[in-house]
Amino acid sequence: MAYPLQSLSFQTLFDAVADAMLLISDTGKVTEANTAALSLLGYTAQEIIGLPVEALVPQRYQAQHIKHRTKFAKNPEKRPMGSGNELAVLTKEGKELEVDIGLSPISYQEKPYTLVTFYTVAKRKSVEQALRISEESLRLAKKAAGLVVFDFDADLKMRDANKQLLTYWGAEPDQTEQNTEKNSSTVLPQIHPDDSAIRASALRHATDPLGNGELKVEYRIINPTTGDLRWISATGRAHFRDGRATRLLGVVRDITEQKIIEKKLQDQHAETETLFAKEVATQTASAIAHEINQPLTAISAYSEVALHALKQKVIDSASLKRALEGCVAQAQRAGSSLHELLSFLHKGEMTREQLDINNVVKEALVVAKSYGYSDFHPVLQLENNIRLVLGNKTQVLKIIVNLLRNAVEAMREAEIAPSEISITVRTNANINMAHVSVQDVGPGLNHEVAKHIFEPFFTTKSKGIGMGLAISRSLAEANGGQLWLDPDFKLGATFHFTLPFSP
């Protein structure tokens, strides 16, 4: 076996070392000095070789140094730097430098030597000061941001004692003392039942060797003493060795106040959206009523004339004919008015573009959660490299968000926890279109409700106007696809919609 360093001389390696090094003989004289040592002390090689090592030590320390050197020669052992071996050395110009030294006894041709390695204490102190400043800056940043560091092993045991984290989870002071003394506490926060699956899924994803190792999850914890709820945001990264997660390191942050504000804004948004939808429905209904009111009044009048003519002993066929023709004309007028109104409401061209349906699904999840529909665990089954679809992004987002909202509301009402929504994106080869399925684990829909589910103004909720699914179906059709309810009611409710691929 070839050794690549075999051909290198001791002097070459000696000079390549970045730290200052001297080779001292058993008589206490300098036999070699590397380039770093010559630069630090200000000597040339010819000047320093042969000097007694005490010549490099301030006079007040020389006698003591001789004693230490004699004692070391009787019992030579390796003493690394940072073991309390501090000394002052003299440069050629007589300047004193505080240094840390390391001693390594070596033997060459049966003669003992001591390899002295040193660097200035000023350099070490500078590094230590920079480290202290960095640690203090990190501490202040963590305090300002409300961050608490966690460091777990693969079994979710704390690698290091962390009173702050235990207190964060609601442990009492005496509990934190007990657990930090163990240094491998198995104490875990009491997770809200509705969030257990979400947190567990995030941990599985982070520690999966096939994933990216990132942990990002929000969940609620329950204080075991007071029962108070707090929202926690955890961000971290798993470290792997030999295809297995060995460490999970990150920070947690209390986001309770943020969540309270978000909830208020979400409630306001939902209320505003409902009021707006009702107002739109009211105005639309008023416009329709206005357009057909006169034709209906005329049809009623003509119908009375026709009925009156039919009651006569001698039927006036001409009068009856005029009355019926009037009914037909007014009915046609009502139909034309409605068509004109619908054309006005739908005026404007719909812009369609190429879309990555997988990205649209992920964006819809973010939108749904921002609207307050975050209490579910999404299970995504997205076909890799699926072709781009052609559609209006805003309208496709609206379809998915509506389906997610309906699913969450159904599971909330049924008090199902943990709630889960599966979203599948695949290619439907039968019709050559993208096929999206949204399935919940709620109570499902009975056959009677299912028959009317897409009808405008049909709803089983105490709130809402029953237009969500009707609008969603219209949007799917406007984008060249279809939206329907799966007739299989064995588990929850499953809605499907399709979109055409981009040519």
pLDDT in tens, 443-474: 777 777 777 777 766 666 655 555 678 888 88
Secondary-structure breakdown of the chain: helix, strand, coil percentages, each rounded to the nearest 5:
45, 25, 30
Domain boundary at 230, 254, 278, which? Answer: 254
* pLDDT for 390 beyond 90: yes
Residues 154 and 234 placed together within one structural domain of the fold: yes
Residues 203 and 324 placed together within one structural domain of the fold: no
Confidence of residue 389 (pLDDT cuts 50, 70, 90): very high
Confidence of residue 184 (pLDDT cuts 50, 70, 90): very low
pLDDT given at position 488: 73
Does any domain span residue 421? yes
How far is it, in rounded angstroms, from Cα 153 to Cα 138?
Answer: 23
Does any domain span residue 4? no
In contact, 454 and 477? CB cutoff 8 Å: no
* pLDDT for 431 beyond 80: yes
Helix axes 256-311, 317-345, angle to 10 degrees: 170
Write down the H helix ranges in 95-148: 121-145
Average pLDDT score, the chain:
78
pLDDT given at position 209: 84
Residues 190 and 312 placed together within one structural domain of the fold: no
pLDDT given at position 129: 73
pLDDT given at position 395: 86
Q: Residue 86, class by beta-carbon neighbours within 10 Å (0-12 exposed, 13-18 middle, 19+ buried)? A: middle
What is the bridge-based pairing of β-strands 229-241 and 214-222?
antiparallel
Q: Furthest-apart CA pair in the chain: how many Å?
A: 150
Domain with 67, as residue range(s), is: 10-125
Question: What is the arithmetic mean of pLDDT over 229-238?
Answer: 87
For residue 317, the domain's CATH number is: 1.10.287
For residue 89, the domain's CATH number is: 3.30.450.20
Does any domain span residue 135? no
* Higher-pLDDT residue of 327, 229: 229
Which segment, 122-136, 276-290, 415-429, is predicted with the most confidence on average?
415-429
Task: Note the Cα 464 to chain centre separation in Å.
Answer: 32
Does any domain span residue 130? no
Does any domain span residue 3? no
Omega within 30 of 0 (cis) for the link into 418: yes
How far is it, in rounded angstroms, from Cα 213 to Cα 139?
Answer: 25
* pLDDT for 259 beyond 90: no
Of 95, 105, 99, give the one whose Cα is nearest residue 123. 99
pLDDT in tens, 317-364: 777 787 788 777 777 777 776 666 666 555 555 688 899 999 999 988
pLDDT given at position 138: 61
pLDDT given at position 9: 65
* pLDDT for 172 beyond 60: no
Task: Note the Cα 390 to chain centre separation in Å.
Answer: 29
pLDDT given at position 406: 86
Does any domain span residue 369? yes
Domain boundary at 213, 231, 254, which? Answer: 254
pLDDT given at position 436: 94
How far is it, in rounded angstroms, from Cα 38 to Cα 245?
Answer: 48
Residues 230 and 248 placed together within one structural domain of the fold: yes
Confidence of residue 299 (pLDDT cuts 50, 70, 90): confident
**DSSP per residue, 440-484:** E-S----HHHHHHTTSTT---SSSS-S-HHHHHHHHHHHTT--EE
Residues 362 and 482 placed together within one structural domain of the fold: yes
pLDDT in tens, 201-218: 888 888 888 878 888 888
In contact, 147 and 252? CB cutoff 8 Å: yes
Does any domain span residue 1? no
* pLDDT for 372 beyond 80: no
Confidence of residue 185 (pLDDT cuts 50, 70, 90): very low
Of 19, 24, 69, 73, give the one whose Cα is nearest residue 49. 24
Domain boundary at 312, 345, 378, which? Answer: 345
Residues 380 and 456 placed together within one structural domain of the fold: yes
Residues 358 and 492 placed together within one structural domain of the fold: yes
How far is it, in rounded angstroms, from Cα 268 to Cα 271?
Answer: 5
Q: Look at the chain and report how many structural domains it folds into.
A: 4
Phi, psi of 355 (to 5 degrees): -130, 140
Question: What is the arithmetic mean of pLDDT over 142-153?
Answer: 70
